[in-house]
A = this chain, B = another copy of it.
Amino acid sequence: MPGSTDGLSVCGPLPAGRNKRLLTVEGHFFAHSRLEMFQVLKQDGQSKARLGRLTLSHGVVDTPAFMPVGTAATVKAMPHDYLESLDSQIILANTYHLYLRPGDERIARLGGLHKFMSWTRCIVTDSGGYQIFSQRDLISVSQEGARFKSHLDGSRHFFTPEKSMMVQQRLGADIMTVLDECIPYPSTHFEAAKSLELTLHWAERCKRSYSTQMSGRQALFGIVQGSVYPDLRQHAVERLQEIDFAGYAIGGLSVGEPKELMYEVTAQCGELLPEGFPRYLMGVGTPPDLLECVALGVDMFDCVLPTRNARNGYLFTSRGRLSIKNACYAEDVRPIDERCLCQVCRRFSRSYLRHLYMAGEIVSSVYNTLHNLHFYLDLMAKIRESIASQNFLEFKRNFLGEYCSEDETVRSRDISSI
A contacts, CB < 8 Å to B: 72-74, 76-81, 101-102, 106, 109-110, 116-118, 311, 330-331, 333, 343, 347-349, 351-352, 355-356, 358-359, 361-363, 365-367
Subset of 24 A-B contacts with CB under 8 Å:
A72-B355, A72-B356, A72-B359, A76-B361, A77-B366, A78-B363, A79-B363, A79-B366, A80-B347, A101-B358, A102-B330, A102-B358, A106-B330, A106-B331, A109-B331, A110-B349, A116-B349, A116-B351, A116-B355, A117-B352, A118-B349, A118-B352, A362-B362, A366-B366
Chain B residues in 8 Å Cβ range of A74: 356, 361, 363
Chain B's closest residue to A106 (CB) is B331
The copy count of this chain in the complex is: 2
Residue of B nearest to A97 (CB): B359
Q: State whether B117 touches A77 (Cβ < 8 A).
A: no
Nearest-Cβ distance from residue A72 to partner chain B, whole angstroms? 5
Known: A101-B355, A355-B101. A348 touches B118 (CB 8 A): yes
How many Å lie between the Cα of A252 and that of B362 in the bound state?
30
A23 to chain B, nearest CB (A): 39
Known A76-B363, A102-B355, A362-B362; 4 more pairs at CB < 8 Å: A79-B363, A102-B330, A116-B352, A362-B366
Tell me whether B116 and A361 are in contact (CB under 8 A): no
| Complex interface: chain B residues within 8 A of A367 (CB) | 79
Take A362-B362, A362-B365, A363-B79 as given contacts and tell me if A110 and B351 are in contact as well, using a CB distance cutoff of 8 Å. yes
Contact B117 A362 (CB under 8 A): no
Closest Cβ–Cβ distance, residue A111 to chain B (whole Å): 8
> Residues of B contacting A347 with CB < 8 Å?
80, 118
Which of chain B's residues has its CB closest to A102's CB?
B355
CA distance A80 to B353 in the complex (A): 13
Q: Provide the bound-state CA to CA distance between A221 and B149, in Å.
A: 60
Complex: A371 Cα to B387 Cα, angstroms: 43
Q: Inside 8 A of A72's CB, which chain B residues have their CB?
A: 355-356, 359, 361
Are A343 and B81 in contact (CB-based, < 8 A)? yes
Compute how far the CA of A330 lies from the CA of B27 in the bound complex, rounded to whole angstroms. Answer: 46
The 7 closest A-B pairs by CB, nearest first: A77-B362, A72-B359, A102-B355, A118-B347, A74-B363, A362-B365, A74-B361
Closest to A365 in B: B362
**Separation of A356 and B102 alpha carbons in the complex (Å):** 9
**Complex Cα gap A262–B56 (Å):** 60
A396 CA / B365 CA spacing, docked (Å): 39
Asked whether B73 lies within 8 Å of A355 as measured between CB atoms, the reply is yes
Closest residue on chain B to residue A333 by CB atoms = B110
Residues of B within 8 A of A366 (CB): 77, 79, 362, 366
Give the CA-CA distance A74 to B106 in the complex, in Å: 36
Alpha-carbon separation in the docked complex, A215 to B118 (Å): 51
Whole-angstrom CA separation of A74 from B78 in the bound complex = 17
Residues of B within 8 A of A355 (CB): 72-73, 101-102, 116
How far apart are A73's CB and chain B's nearest CB, in angstroms? 7
Residue of B nearest to A370 (CB): B79
Min CB distance A196 to B, Å, is 34
* B101–A359 touching, CB < 8 Å: yes
Q: Which residues of B contact A78 (CB under 8 A)?
A: 363
Q: Contacts A349-B110, A352-B116, A355-B102 given: A363-B77 contact, CB under 8 Å? A: yes
B-chain residues with CB within 8 Å of residue A102 when the two chains form the complex: 330, 351, 355, 358
Report the minimum CB–CB distance from A356 to chain B (whole Å): 6
Shortest Cβ distance from A277 into chain B, in angstroms? 34
Q: How far is the CA of A80 from the CA of B76 in the complex (A)?
A: 19
Q: How far is the CB of A82 from chain B (nearest CB, A)?
A: 8
Q: Shortest Cβ distance from A352 into chain B, in angstroms?
A: 6
Give bound CA distance, A343 to B80, whole Å: 11
Tell me the bound Cα distance from A110 to B351 in angstroms: 9
Q: How far in angstroms is the closest Cβ of chain B from A383? A: 28
